[in-house]
Amino acid sequence: MTQFPKDFLWGAASAAYQVEGAHDVDGKGLSVWDVYSHQPGTTYQGTNGDDAADHYHRMEEDVALMAELGMSSYRFSISWARILPQGKGEVNLAGIDFYSRLIDNLLRHNIKPMITLYHWDLPQALQDEGGWEARATTEAFVEYAKVCYQHFGDRVDLWSTFNETVVFIGHGYITAQHPPGVRDPARGLQACHHVFIAHAKAVAAFRKAKVAGLVNQLAVIGFVNVLQPHTAASSSQKDIKAREIADAIFTHWFYDPVLKGQYPPELLNMAQTALGAPQFAPGDEKLLKDNICDFIGVNYYKREMIAANDGESITTQNTTGEKGSANEFGFRDLFKFVRNPDGEYTDWDWEIYPQGLSDGIMQITQRYGKIPIYVTENGLGYKDPIIDGEIVDDARIDYLRRHIEATRSAIALGADVRGYYPWSFIDLLSWLNGYQKQYGFVYVDRDNNLNRKKKKSFAWYQNVIQSHGQIL
């Protein structure tokens, strides 16, 4: 049986807005999520991240739990507005201090930090100036990235710029479920282009700064995408064609610019003809071409079944009332997302399909060559049963076990997978689903002072890590 490589990282992931809380203390500026989640009707029962898991104040306790778990890496995001309250200009030293202490604590326990610079929490001050639609935001992002390189670059080897552009742009500008809550695909495509430009500029600045990481190895910088493999619902030509279109829109559009340095040409042409966007500024092509990133992070939760749409109108809303299905993304003439009649689904209607993780990794490896890949998120959103005071999350153990096996299969097939980060280390805020959708190895008692308690999966993952994947 294939072994995990010797240096394979066993991690877990989180994001600032979902875990930190302390949304307005110690000089932090407001982010778009701080503002948006306070508007009526935007989130599940009005939940927000004001307190989240209060990781900001309990960081040392949390890192001690990570160490007990045996994690060799921790993926977290930096809150831009904690570092630069207005998005640019004045630096908030209390924010620098928090992340600096976090990094030092991790290193003390031999846990490699992996930083995500942007996990959706744009400073509101920049949104007020146009957000990602404004070209100037790309410059503000580079300014912010450079502050992070300067303060943390001597200790952090693994960096990524953006998390899941398809989600924050798709929901921000097409389904209107994330800030800025717009329904306008042309504006979305322009905003999306600026994200790729901001990424390319931040990669250029990273290389120019020769960010060293620990012991003067050159640190690396990547990009994190959703990995959502598509399967044709039947072997009919029209479903196969529909699947190809879904791949081009949801996968190639988001991976090609950072791994090939260009958009898929046919799709770019279609978008520019139909919507007049994205518009390029002089030099953009070269910027993308010159700044291919070092690795790709993939977040995998589910696959999607695709069929040709024969003109019927589709509305989907799952049992929990969560909206945001990809069917709402506005490509109804081209294809539709269908349920797998034989599929295994979560309470939120996400298909559990471990093979999709290995298939997706192999699709990337085939399209872009053998690039380093990290599985930067993977996990089960679940209402964990509490039996006699114990959190018995067997379903999570089963989900993770099968997906770690799928990761191993991809390695056996020749992919260069270097780490696996379950979502999440701790129960945290689900953007649109509040605190009822749990993901962590560590439970947070929301009725009792946010106290931490280890779940059954904690001991299980501890064994997985200790045995380097042997006990699966």
Binding site for ligand BGP (CB under 6 A): 15, 18, 163-164, 167, 299, 377, 381, 423, 430-431, 433, 437
- Rounded least distance, CB 215 to ligand BGP, Å: 30
Q: 14 or 365, CB closer to ligand BGP?
A: 14
Q: Give backbone dihedrals phi and psi of 360, rounded to 5 degrees, phi first.
A: -65, -45
CA max distance for the chain: 64
**Catalytic choice (20, 304, 328, 377):** 377
- Report the residue closest to ligand BGP, judged by CB: 430
- Rounded least distance, CB 38 to ligand BGP, Å: 19
Can you spell out the DSSP letters for 1-66? -PPPPTT-EE--B--HHHH---TTSTTPPPBHHHHHTTSTTSSGGG--SSSTT-HHHHHHHHHHHH
Q: 4 or 118, CB closer to ligand BGP?
A: 118
Q: 309 or 378, CB closer to ligand BGP?
A: 378
**Catalytic choice (20, 133, 164, 322):** 164
Q: Secondary structure of the chain: what % helix, strand, coil (to 5)?
A: 40, 15, 45
Residue 49 half-sphere exposure toward CB, CA atoms < 13 A? 28
Nearest in space to 57 (alpha carbons), one of 27, 5, 98, 18: 98
**Beta-carbon contacts of residue 423 (< 8 Å; ≥ 6 apart):** 12, 13, 14, 299, 377, 378, 379, 439
Q: 105 or 163, CB closer to ligand BGP?
A: 163
Which amino acid makes up residue 365?
A: T
> 234: which 2 tokens?
């039947």
- Rounded least distance, CB 279 to ligand BGP, Å: 28
Q: 255 or 423, CB closer to ligand BGP?
A: 423
Q: 3-state DSSP call for residue 375?
A: strand
Residue 443 half-sphere exposure toward CB, CA atoms < 13 A? 21
The neighbour count for residue 24, using CB atoms within 10 Å, is 11
> 19: which 2 tokens?
């875990």
- Rounded least distance, CB 15 to ligand BGP, Å: 5
Can you spell out the DSSP letters for 288-325? HHHT--SEEEEE-S--EEEE---S-------TT-----
**Beta-carbon contacts of residue 6 (< 8 Å; ≥ 6 apart):** none
Question: How far apart, in Å, are the Cα atoms of 31 and each of 23, 34, 120, 387?
Answer: 9, 5, 9, 38
Q: 105 or 378, CB closer to ligand BGP?
A: 378
- Element containing residue 149 per DSSP (H, E): helix 136-152
Judged on CB neighbours under 10 Å (0-12, 13-18, 19+), 210 is exposed
> 67: which 2 tokens?
């160490």
- Rounded least distance, CB 13 to ligand BGP, Å: 8
- Rounded least distance, CB 224 to ligand BGP, Å: 8
**Beta-carbon contacts of residue 253 (< 8 Å; ≥ 6 apart):** 166, 263, 264, 267
> 309: which 2 tokens?
């749409």
The single residue listed with the structure tokens 């300014």 is 143
Q: 299 or 457, CB closer to ligand BGP?
A: 299
Concerning whether 377 is annotated as a catalytic residue, the answer is yes
Q: 4 or 431, CB closer to ligand BGP?
A: 431
Q: 166 or 268, CB closer to ligand BGP?
A: 166
- Rounded least distance, CB 318 to ligand BGP, Å: 12
- Rounded least distance, CB 274 to ligand BGP, Å: 27
- Rounded least distance, CB 436 to ligand BGP, Å: 10
Give the residue numbers marked as catalytic.
164, 377
